[in-house]
A and B are shown apart, each in its own frame.
Chain A
Amino acid sequence: MRAFFDMGGYAAFVWPAYAVTLAVVLLNIFWAYRALERSRTEARRRLQVQGERR
């Protein structure tokens, strides 16, 4: 187990590389759903404005 985390002495490069990639993957999921939610909220607001005009 120690040897695995040590990565043959390259731990200081291997693990940050994996951490950055994992962060990008997770952020992409978060950003995608946040963008969708914003569009839905915005669409709801537009419908309301139209409803009031009628």
Chain B
Amino acid sequence: MNWSWFHRLASPPHVYALAARLTPWFAWPAAVAIIAGLWGGLVLAPPDYQQGDGFRIIYVHAPSAWMSLMVYVTMAVSAAVGLVWRIKVAHAVAASCAPIGASFTFAALVTGALWGQPMWGTYWQWDPRLTSELVLLFLYLGYMGLRAGIEDPQRADRASAVLAVVGVVNVPIIHYSVTWWNSLHQAPSVMRLAKPAMPLAMLLPLLLMLLGFTLFFVALLLVRLRGEVLARERAASWIREVVSA
């Protein structure tokens, strides 16, 4: 087996060019999946027998919440790779993840509040699921604040990577919070071992939205990664080629 493609993933000029080339291959399928998912979720799916049309918030809430966790895991894993093997590109991936994850954590919290008010009678409770998701937002913000506060990029990479790796313990806490503790939040209806607790007409649009958001994350990551890779390079000859416009 030829592993050269894998080793090239640590090479900044290669990654810069590859990221530029791959972006549309994730962005356009993301747009198609999200538009199809919105159509299915808002128009085709039947109203819920308990929540009526109010349940349709799931099509933006669940994908945002999924992003908040998936992006964090991506960030923590690349930060760990960067720490262990001292790969600049891995740190660049981790740094690219943070603002994306923070914004979708915010979206998950706000859409959750807007769903909570009509169904539970409150926008907010200091409930295990809600509180641990809020902690996730603070982890992202802390990570970004820490990076912003350290001038030297290599030190910023290492210090923030430690925070990202330690903070990953919060991810299983968020996921299992609804099973471990008595929570207002419902138990998982898709991300579980048993068959999803939803008819197909409701489930399919949700899966499309989850897929669309995931592809969208990759596209965003690829755009941000180019910037982060450039920022870590000093006086490399390939920079001249990519920025002289």
Contact = CB atoms under 8 A, between A and B. Distances in A.
Interface of A: 4, 7-10, 13-14, 16-18, 20-21, 24-25, 27-29, 31-33, 35-40, 42-44, 46-47, 50
A24 B104 contact: yes
Contact of A40 (B34, B47, B243): B243
A10 to B, nearest CB: 4
B100 A28 contact: yes
Contacts of B133: none
Interface string B111-128: 100110110000000000
Interface string B38-53: 0000110001000011
A40 B52 contact: no
Q: Which 10 A-B pairs have the closest CB atoms?
A: A39-B227, A8-B53, A10-B54, A21-B60, A36-B227, A8-B52, A17-B111, A32-B223, A7-B53, A39-B230
Contacts of B99: 28, 31, 35
5 contacts: A7-B53, A14-B53, A14-B54, A17-B57, A35-B227
Interface of B: 34, 42-43, 47, 52-54, 56-57, 60-61, 64, 99-100, 103-104, 106-107, 110-111, 114-115, 117-118, 216, 220, 223-224, 226-228, 230-231, 233-235, 239-240, 242-244
A44 B57 CA distance: 45
A14 B43 CA distance: 13
Nearest to A35: B227
Given A13-B57, A13-B114, A38 B227 contact: yes
A35 B224 CA distance: 7
A33 to B, nearest CB: 6
A50 B117 CA distance: 58
Contact of A28 (B43, B220, B231, B234): B220
Given A24-B106, A40-B227, A47-B239, A13 B64 contact: no
A10 B53 contact: yes
A1 B121 CA distance: 28
A30 to B, nearest CB: 11
B103 A17 contact: no
Contact of A47 (B223, B226, B240): B240
Nearest to B61: A17
Contacts of B103: 24, 27-28, 31
A25 B53 contact: no
Given A17-B115, A29-B220, A10 B52 contact: yes
Contacts of B216: 25, 28
Contacts of B56: 7, 10, 14
A32 B220 contact: yes
A13 B106 CA distance: 16
